[in-house]
Amino acid sequence: MHTVSVATPGGHYPIHIGRGRLEALAASVPADATALAVITNTTVADLYGQRVHDALAAAGKPIHWVRLPDGEQYKTWDSLNQIFDALLGAALDRKAVLIALGGGVVGDMAGFAAACYMRGVRFVQVPTTLLAQVDSSVGGKTAINHPLGKNMIGAFYQPQAVEIDLQVLATLPAREISAGLAEVVKYGMIADAAFFAWCEAHVQALRALDDEAIAYAVRRACELKAWVVSQDERESGLRAILNFGHTFGHAIESGLGYGQWLHGEAVGCGMVLAAQLSVQARGLDPAVAARIQALVQAIGCPVRPPALGLDRWFDLMRVDKKTEGRHIRYVLLPGLGQACLQAVDDDKVRPLLAAAGG
C-alpha cells in the first residue's frame, strides 16, 4: 500500500492506494462514528456491496445503504434528496459517517450530501472507477449538476480519507478505463512533462491495466493532484489548471446531455482543443499539440468534438465557473508540463471550433 497525504485548510487526510483496500475499510471508520451510510449505485452495489458490507461490519456500527441509479444524468437534486431522505429516515445523527462507494457521480453527490447534512458530517471516499481514483475523489470538490450547467451547485468539503482499491478496476468497461486515463495524462500535460512522456511510453500497459503501470499512474496522478489542492483548496488560483480541457469538455457533456459522452471522454477531446488554442494564444509548440492529440487518441478517447453549432458552444462554455463577466477563461499550456488561466475572445476560438467540426 502507498499513502499520499493531502493537506488543506479544510482538512488533512490520507489517500491509501493498493490492492485489497475494500477488505480493509473498517480501519477508516472513526471510533466515535454512531452509524455508517454507504452511498453507492446499483451497478457498484451488485459488484461490491457484499464485500464492502462484510468489511465494514468489522467496525461494529449500524450500516445503512443508499443505492442510487447509475449515471451522470442522475447527478441531480432528486438523487441528493434520496440520500437526505434515507439519512433522516434512519435518524442518523451528526456523528454518522458516509461512505461514498462508486465513481465520480457517487463521490460528488455523497460528498455534497455529507457537506450539507446537518451542516456537515464526515465521509470517506472509496472510488471504484479510474477517473474517480485519479481525480474526483481527491481534493474535496463536491457538487450536483443543474439543467443550466455542470457541477454548478456544490461545496468544497474534504473527506476523512480516500481508499483506492486498484483491484476494482478489473471490472470496469474498457471505455471507462480510457476515460479515466484522460485525467491521468492531463497531469502530465499541465504539471509534469516527464510523466507525460512516461504515459506515452506505457499507454498499452495502462490500457491493459498492467499492475505495476496502473499503480504508478494512479499514485503519480494523486501526488500531483494532492500537491495542487494543498496549494489552493478553493480554486482561487493554481487549482484552476486542473480544469485543462474542461471548459470545452463541460460544454460537450452539457450540450449532448449528461451521460452521452463520459466525463473523461469529453475532457480528452477538450484537451485536444485546448492544446490547439494554446498554439494560437500562447505559442505552444505545434509538435506538443500533436503529441497531446496522439496520446488522447492512443488512450482511446475521441479527438473530434461533436457538432453542437458554434453559438451553442459559446453559450454552454460561458456558464463555466471560471468565466468572469462575459469573458470565457481557458486553461492553456505555454509549454508541456506548464499551465495558465487566460481569457480568450470568442472570435479567436470560433475558427478553431469550426475547423474541428464543432
List residues with catalytic annotation.
119, 141, 183, 225, 235, 239, 243, 246, 250, 263
143 lies in the site for a second copy, by CB under 8 A: yes
How many residues at the interface with a second copy, by CB under 8 A?
Answer: 38
CB closer to a second copy, 59 vs 215: 59
How far is it, in rounded angstroms, from Cα 21 to Cα 246?
A: 30
Q: Name which of 65 and 84 has its Cβ closer to a second copy.
A: 84
Residue numbers 154-173 binding a second copy by CB under 8 A: 154-156
Map residue 281 onto helix, strand or coil. helix
Q: Which of 1, 46, 69, 77 binds a second copy (CB under 8 A)?
A: 77
Q: From 88-96, 242-250, 301-309, 336-344, give the range in contact with a second copy by CB under 8 A.
A: 88-96
Could you tell me which stretch among 90-98, 172-180, 245-253, 265-273 binds a second copy (CB under 8 A)? Answer: 90-98
Nearer to a second copy, 154 or 302 (CB): 154
279-286, long-range: CB < 8 A, 24+ apart: 280/348, 280/352, 281/330, 281/332, 281/342, 281/344, 281/348, 282/332, 282/333, 282/334, 282/340, 282/342, 283/334, 284/332, 284/333, 284/334, 284/335, 285/335, 285/336
Our finding on whether 138 is near a second copy (CB under 8 A) is no
Rule CB under 8 A: say whether 237 interacts with a second copy.
no
CA distance 250 to 164: 26
Cell of 261: 459522452
**Amino acid (1-letter code) at residue 60:** G
Residue of 25, 85, 89, 88 lying closest to 61 (CA atoms): 25
Q: What's the rounded Cα separation, in Å, for the pair 11 and 21? A: 22
**d(C-alpha 350, C-alpha 184), whole Å:** 28
Q: Which residues in the 302-321 window bind a second copy by CB under 8 A? A: 318-319, 321
Q: How far apart are CB 172 and a second copy at their closest, in Å?
A: 28
Residues of this chain that interact with a second copy (CB under 8 A) are 34, 77, 81, 84-85, 88-89, 91, 93-95, 115-120, 141-143, 146, 148-149, 151-156, 234-235, 318-319, 321-325
